[in-house]
Amino acid sequence: MSPINVIDYFTHPTLIGIFFTPNSRLPTPDSRFPIPFLTWRIHKTIYKPLQSSIGNILQFWNWRGQ
């Protein structure tokens, strides 16, 4: 499995929503669909910059390979 898939798996908003829900129980399926505010903040502050930096690294490697 490539690193991008692993990062995408571990930072997927739904998974973060499951692991970071305030109540300790596993969330019921209907409470998972409205993305919690905490999840959205994590998604916005960690996942998006990570995604763009991975894109920059891949572009850099493609540019070097030419």
Q: Quote the pLDDT of residue 59.
A: 74
- Helix-strand-coil split of the chain, %, nearest 5: 75, 0, 25
Domain span including residue 42: 3-65
Give the chain's domain count: 1
pTM to 2 decimal places? 0.25
Which residues in 16-52 are b (16+ Cβ under 10 Å) and which e? bbeeebeeeeeeeeeeeeeebeebeebbeeebeeeee
pLDDT tens string, the chain, 66 residues long: the values are: 444 454 454 555 555 454 544 554 554 444 444 555 556 566 566 666 677 777 777 777 777 665
Q: Quote the pLDDT of residue 56.
A: 75
Q: Quote the pLDDT of residue 37.
A: 53
Q: Which helix (H) or strand (E) holds 39?
A: helix 37-42
